[in-house]
Structure 1
């Protein structure tokens, strides 16, 4: 925000040095970025935060300076009674969507003479870098920079019909702006329209067809409030930014819209002549009242660590524009001003007291009470995952949430619905909210391969966005993993990762088919019937599509499912001091019998004596075993916690396991 020092002095008796003012403003949160001399004036460059749109006008800056130095603020009355002719505005205003435009004020001025603006106005606008055009346009810009309320002046003779409409743009509607460029609109944009079509892009820019020129004699002055998000969306999509859109995106003061309209008319009549039609047109609703906020005096020393006198607290809050409704020995209740939408909690008032009283008055050793904080369960699980992945040699990566259409459809294990699309992608072609982390990780793998980092193992913890019909997407945290190792090696990584969270959980592997995975090398991972995630080897076609030279294996786990099974309280478990016994089993089974099925049966049938069941290999010999058969070799480790197992006990346990495998799968022990 560029501020004219001469302009600032119109509202304050400012017998204070520029340096002192800038220092106090910086300490209060309005950073001073530098200054320069423009003719006989000084231009101050102040950094305005997005939560303080009231600082986007000279009156707002003057109000802040007045509070800091206890100076009275002198704001013009914007009185047009002396220049009104008693007539009515000849237009009707219709608002089709009050959520977008809560209020719209129109005033008309007849008999103006277009010419140059007076020197005082030209000098102030020039100081802050705004070029002068003519006395009418300059007046609208002056009020914009005075109070932060955008306005627009239409040439009344160029308006078609007796109605002004605030409506959505029609599909593929064309709009010629005052920058002499034509824009193609869509139904998400809003326009100001007359009978012939759009005459302004609401909240962004006026139209060429109704602009004021040297032949203009009658004016229609627009002052309105527009919703921030649609204005921002239109401005960014069309790459059309203006001082007006900048302010509407941050919010304007609803109580000052009429003042801005009157002030603009007052300045136009003063500089261009003419008469104001006394009857204004007001469309929309009146601004609603603000809720009260109560500040307990005891909160000041508790949060700031210092005592501030109650009289000083009251003075600061009132100077800031708060209306005191009640005050007792223990607290003060106020109604925040209309220009401070950021004040709605007690702690907001505490912050205001700290800002104005002075952060520099809070000593380093202030006795602020501290309370122990704790991590959320989500953070604790993520930290355990990070430590586990780091221990297994994986590097964490960060990728963009927006991907291309091709990538969004590369893996759809979580959802087959069409992904959500952004109309303003940050990267050209990447306009889909991802439904999986896997494509992004494969892209990161490709980038590493380009720099000859072929032996790279990556993981990412981030959100995916699963579409839901007529609702916000299902945002889920996922753990994506990619490796250059085999299916079973990555499966071991997944099992080890789950073991870090809960060593007593067994993962069930179900065959899963997806175009991304090689045939027979994809798996759906579950725990107690609940989906945990997916695992698979990337097929040759997919590797080529992603530009990968080396084999790749991927997995994706639902962090929500991991949180449900995680044991976050440290657990102690006794271990056996007695020796373990290993028995190798080589079973002949049908081709469709999975290893996970045999593992599950072994644990169940063996009971407490089975410590671990470890896969070794699969071998196929159709000549010896017959077609459709395979041999599965695995090791069963047996151990008791209270004694040394005897050979008879081990043989009996293995016999139970073999019997169960034979009964449930038809497995036969290879002699």
Structure 2
């Protein structure tokens, strides 16, 4: 939200610098994210002055140039000028040496001392387009003025300079979404009064064009006011109004629409102007239209109504989506001569639903869906009518119709003085509390020794409880004014886990980074089509977003797979095809009651293992490369006794399901080609997704470094012929169990399937590493251990030991 300091000063007396105002507002909860300088003419005509041409002669070396001498107030300087209309005695606009000009078209440029065809030039006599105030380049500007030479051109052209605050408005502070709202906070902070523009001059000229209003949905429209203004002249707005809007990054449209935008940003009350001649039947009806009703909005788009939007209608149909966007057929145009001006208070719920359904976020809907002031519509209507008469002419040709059957009452809240002191953390005098609340328009309506009862106006939609009132006192008193205790402590209800899960995640990230993997962070919102075409996810478990920004961000992700594939596609499309990525992220699913959230660890591997070089040919990554990483991570975390189950279902062409006891730890495999193409990835992808919640819960913490044993390690090899269904994981578990503490690790250095062994069989060549940390192993101990392993393999998996 942008706030003009120049305009703010019309509401409250301010002698503070923009930076000081920003600090005051930020300290009270309206965080100022930036301060911008606005100038009605870019550059503010800095270094441009009014001058007088004292002499003018033809350039000796160029037919179309003139040599002039110009009095700039400080000095008489020579200037070479190419304009055909330059002559002696003219008052002109002069850009002095060293100043920067911002032309209407082209890049800014600096005026420098130069030689033009052999003659010195120390400035420039300017045309309109060269200083950014018009389009003309037919000749230099010749001024009719008695201002002395050297007068800054900014004074002559009345350049407006303003500082604009960019405020990061939090959703609860709808009351501050205007210049008046910000002025109210400054009133409390500076303890001075605000000044609202007077509407006493408002009067109805006649009642020749009354447009009656009928409200059929009073629950959605608690208040609706309007009036008719006739015989207006639609045209450009005056400079002051255009500059106000441009300072707020709004483009002026015409005087009527600009006035409604002015009131919205000034008072926080959205207005809408209808062309009165386009209101069929001369009657306004506020109601809902049937689902599927086609309605063309001001942006020329036809939108199908959901049936839940509140509509402003005439006898034929819709004129405007109430509080959100106007209709093409009833908007103000250059031919408009009469308008019906609307000022209303709509239910935030109905506006929020309508805006979300159509994906429309307008300045009006931003305010209505958060809650506007139900007591503002008539004042804003009078203020707008006065401005329209002043700027566009015309006359007010109807009384104000004001439908407001059930006025919104102030909120009455009881507040304990003890709670004020306890929650703020210091004792504040009752006088300061009372003054602060009154300056925030919160009235005292009752007081006892221990409590106060206050009335809060309904525009403060965020102040409805005792804690909210106390927060108001605190933010005006100042957070920085609450001293810290010498002995800080905190109370908590939950037990803190013994493991530092954040540290554990960080350490594991370091392990993966050391292996050459890059961490990614992706959006939790994703495309519904991924679930529909995944083959392994249930669309009924989708957590849908009610206020979705787009269909591509319509649901919460059930897996980290597709958001990671999008990252792969982005990099592959930029010729980065060898990728190692990992992500810690959360997945979301609907449950029978509520929702399930689970933290996952995803790992992606694609492309070649290493960059191509003359030492060795490039080699594509394979399934064992990723499995080795998973094995290493489990080892680092102290996770043992994982089981594996071969799978051939989505999302994999083939892969493994990892189990930890009876619980699924995750899965690893080669992603199905169709799913890769769904995310526009055209190369093989290896993927693992593990439950980080389960991993971290079962982890014994990262392994500590141990001293290297003084005693040597011994290797023995075995060749086993086993059934094809027996996995290496089974062999490994059997070996570790049978080998006892002497068996440190086991590896595979060859696998064979072919004609030389029986059908349905495969041969593993295994290496076993034995070591005793307390003594050197003897042949007798080694042979005994290997004999026990051989016997176990033969008995448990029917292995044939190849001699």
TM-score of the superposed pair, with normalisation by structure 1: 0.75
Structure 1 residues 393 and 412: alpha-carbon distance in aligned structure 2, compared to 1, 3 A threshold: farther
Mapped pair 1:587 → 2:720? yes
Structure 1 residues 231 and 551: alpha-carbon distance in aligned structure 2, compared to 1, 3 A threshold: closer
Map Cα deviations across residues 330-355 of structure 1 (whole Å, 9 max, x no partner). 99776655444455788877775565
Q: 1:457 aligns with which of 553, 562, 580?
A: 580
Mapped pair 1:555 → 2:671? no
Pairs within 5 Å for 1:36-435: 36=39, 43-51=162-170, 52-75=173-196, 90-95=212-217, 101=220, 103-109=221-227, 112-115=229-232, 125-129=241-245, 131=252, 133=254, 140-154=260-274, 158-159=279-280, 164-167=285-288, 170-171=291-292, 173-177=294-298, 181-187=300-306, 190-194=309-313, 195-211=315-331, 214-216=336-338, 221-227=343-349, 229-230=352-353, 232-233=355-356, 237=359, 242-248=362-368, 250-254=370-374, 256-257=376-377, 260=380, 272-276=395-399, 280-282=402-404, 286=408, 289=411, 296-297=420-421, 300=424, 311-324=431-444, 337-342=457-462, 356-357=476-477, 370=488, 378-401=501-524, 434-435=557-558
Mapped pair 1:506 → 2:641? yes
Q: What SS class does the counterpart of residue 511 from structure 1 fall into?
A: strand
Match of 2:667 in 1: 534
Q: Distance in 2 between matches of 1:549 and 1:350?
A: 59
Displacement of 1:596: 1.7
Q: What SS class does the counterpart of residue 500 from structure 1 fall into?
A: helix
CA contact (8 A) 2:233 2:337 kept: no
CA contact (8 A) 1:435 1:464 kept: yes
Mapped pair 1:566 → 2:699? yes
Structure 1 residues 490 and 162: alpha-carbon distance in aligned structure 2, compared to 1, 3 A threshold: same
Q: What SS class does the counterpart of residue 188 from structure 2 fall into?
A: helix
Q: Distance in 2 between matches of 1:80 and 1:94?
A: 33
Q: Distance in 2 between matches of 1:610 and 1:288?
A: 80
Map Cα deviations across residues 589-637 of structure 1 (whole Å, 9 max, x no partner). 2111222222233344x28546445231453355443100012333455
CA contact (8 A) 2:352 2:365 kept: no
Structure 1 residues 522 and 4: alpha-carbon distance in aligned structure 2, compared to 1, 3 A threshold: closer
Structure 1 residues 140 and 540: alpha-carbon distance in aligned structure 2, compared to 1, 3 A threshold: closer
Q: Distance in 2 between matches of 1:156 and 1:205?
A: 17
Mapped pair 1:630 → 2:762? yes
Q: What SS class does the counterpart of residue 115 from structure 1 fall into?
A: coil
Map Cα deviations across residues 316-343 of structure 1 (whole Å, 9 max, x no partner). 2331233457778999776655444455
Structure 1 residues 533 and 333: alpha-carbon distance in aligned structure 2, compared to 1, 3 A threshold: farther
Q: What SS class does the counterpart of residue 559 from structure 2 fall into?
A: coil
Q: Distance in 1 between matches of 2:561 and 2:6?
A: 59
Match of 2:78 in 1: none
Match of 2:629 in 1: 493
Q: What SS class does the counterpart of residue 216 from structure 2 fall into?
A: strand
Superposition RMSD in Å = 5.2
Q: Distance in 1 between matches of 2:190 and 2:22?
A: 10
Moved more, 367-376 or 24-33: 367-376
Q: What SS class does the counterpart of residue 60 from structure 1 fall into?
A: helix
Displacement of 1:510: 1.0
Map Cα deviations across residues 219-252 of structure 1 (whole Å, 9 max, x no partner). 66544243464355356x36xx643234335542
Q: What SS class does the counterpart of residue 670 from structure 2 fall into?
A: strand
Q: What SS class does the counterpart of residue 306 from structure 2 fall into?
A: coil
Moved more, 553-562 or 404-413: 404-413
Structure 1 residues 387 and 80: alpha-carbon distance in aligned structure 2, compared to 1, 3 A threshold: same
Which has the higher Rg, Structure 1 or Structure 2? 2
Q: Distance in 2 between matches of 1:21 and 1:312?
A: 27
Displacement of 1:534: 1.6
* Consecutive unaligned residues in structure 2, runs of 5 or more: 41-156, 246-250, 610-620
Structure 1 residues 389 and 125: alpha-carbon distance in aligned structure 2, compared to 1, 3 A threshold: same
Q: What SS class does the counterpart of residue 725 from structure 2 fall into?
A: coil
CA contact (8 A) 1:27 1:355 kept: no
Q: What SS class does the counterpart of residue 365 from structure 2 fall into?
A: helix
Q: Distance in 2 between matches of 1:351 and 1:61?
A: 17
Map Cα deviations across residues 46-86 of structure 1 (whole Å, 9 max, x no partner). 2232224333323223323322332223447979998699x
Moved more, 56-65 or 251-260: 251-260
Map Cα deviations across residues 395-417 of structure 1 (whole Å, 9 max, x no partner). 21334555667766786656576
Displacement of 1:45: 1.9
Displacement of 1:476: 3.4
Mapped pair 1:667 → 2:803? no
Displacement of 1:385: 2.2
Q: Distance in 2 between matches of 1:418 and 1:131?
A: 47
Q: Distance in 2 between matches of 1:266 and 1:541?
A: 65
Q: Distance in 2 between matches of 1:578 and 1:626?
A: 41
Q: Distance in 2 between matches of 1:8 and 1:65?
A: 10
Q: What SS class does the counterpart of residue 386 from structure 1 fall into?
A: helix
Displacement of 1:579: 7.0
CA contact (8 A) 2:226 2:341 kept: yes
TM-score of the superposed pair, with normalisation by structure 2: 0.65
CA contact (8 A) 1:293 1:344 kept: no
Q: What SS class does the counterpart of residue 616 from structure 1 fall into?
A: strand
Displacement of 1:531: 1.5
Map Cα deviations across residues 447-501 of structure 1 (whole Å, 9 max, x no partner). 55566655542212223444x3899874433222123433223212112212332
Structure 1 residues 45 and 197: alpha-carbon distance in aligned structure 2, compared to 1, 3 A threshold: same
* Consecutive unaligned residues in structure 1, runs of 5 or more: none
Q: Distance in 2 between matches of 1:183 and 1:631?
A: 69
Map Cα deviations across residues 242-286 of structure 1 (whole Å, 9 max, x no partner). 4323433554234545654676678889973234266x4348995
CA contact (8 A) 1:5 1:41 kept: no
Q: What SS class does the counterpart of residue 230 from structure 2 fall into?
A: coil
